Amino acid sequence: MRKASRLPNIHNLGVNLRILLIVNGLLALAALILSTDTREFFVLVTAISAIAQPMLLLSLLLLYLCYPFMRKFNYWLGIAITFLIVILTCFGLHYLFSQLLIFENLPTLTRTLFFVIVVTIITLYYFNLHHRAYSPAVAEARLQALQARIRPHFLFNSINAVLSLIRSQPKQAETALEDMADLFRVLMADNRDLVPLAQEIGLCRQYLALEKLRLEDRLLIQWQIDDMPPDALIPPLVLQPLLENAVYHGIEPLPNGGTVTLQIYTKNKEVHIILTNPYATLNNHHIGNKMALKNIKERLTLHFDLEASLKNKKIEGKYQVHIVLPYKK
């Protein structure tokens, strides 16, 4: 049974903003069609908005309150409940307006409900298309985990590093093999659900431990995660690909290596993740195609919409990636 997770997440600020823009855009379009000149257009927009805005805002409020229950049902039942809430809300407000006589030219109930149903269908169809457009990013995460996130050079180098330790340091070689097994087990799993931030950090530590076998003192890691919320939920495989890029593009080209800094903290109910690594402006090292950044941006949008962001910049010889997520436990 398909859950109603495909329903618009009314608890998301970006979703609410999109709904307001879509509905008000349709209201303006209706006024434009019905008007003959600019003056009449503004009069119609004002008159329609005076009736429609209370219906829209009250419907959003009721959907916000009901959303935790609606998302437990299958998608089509969630759609039916959405229509029921919107229609009953608009019916009740239309009846109240007609009794209070606060509008001179109040549209008929039939006309109002017809417009409400059309607008609701268009809005839900938009979000259905939006979900389908970004869904491939989730499936692509597994493919990129196998093809791009763990590059062949990392696999071969890690195996060689382990082989060099088997005789001299068998215990360390055994630990490295366990880290490799855990790492690839995660990468080949179905990574569709959000995971605790602490789990992602654990994966990153295992990855960096393998890279330390190869780069040794050339790779320094600065962890600034004392204020990290371990229970914050994030999409899986967000930090590890960024760390891999930091090592591959920032540390390997430098003869003396450098420091990768990972800073995580919370501010205003948001989780901030800042990754910084050296940036050599002139080197012959392979230039990344930013596929990892693009994939991460798409998955952040899918899970959090406009509440999440990813920005990258070059500052004073360093490359920095800044991710902002809503703090969800």
- What SS3 class is residue 243? helix
When mean pLDDT is compared across 3-17, 45-59, 76-90, 286-300, the lowest value belongs to 286-300
What pLDDT, on a 0 to 100 scale, did the predictor assign at position 281?
A: 62
Domain definitions of the chain by residue range: 4-135, 150-326
Please identify which residue in the block is written with the tokens 């109040």. Answer: 106
Q: pLDDT tens-digit profile of 192-240?
A: 678 899 988 988 888 888 888 778 888 999 999 988 999 999 988 888 8
When mean pLDDT is compared across 107-116, 214-223, 276-285, the lowest value belongs to 276-285
Distance CA 182, CA 200 (A): 12
Grade residue 2 by pLDDT with cuts at 50, 70 and 90.
very low
Average the pLDDT over 161-185 and give the result: 77
Residue type, 307: E
Grade residue 129 by pLDDT with cuts at 50, 70 and 90.
confident
Distance CA 194, CA 197 (A): 9
The DSSP 8-state label assigned to residue 260 in this structure reads E
What pLDDT, on a 0 to 100 scale, did the predictor assign at position 146?
A: 42
Q: Does the pLDDT of residue 3 top 60, yes or no?
A: no
Q: Span 150-326: which CATH code?
A: 3.30.565.10
Q: How many CB atoms lie within 10 A of CB 121?
A: 12
Q: Does the pLDDT of residue 1 top 50, yes or no?
A: no
Mean pLDDT of the residues in the chain: 82
Distance CA 51, CA 55 (A): 7
Q: Does the pLDDT of residue 72 top 80, yes or no?
A: yes
What pLDDT, on a 0 to 100 scale, did the predictor assign at position 189?
A: 64
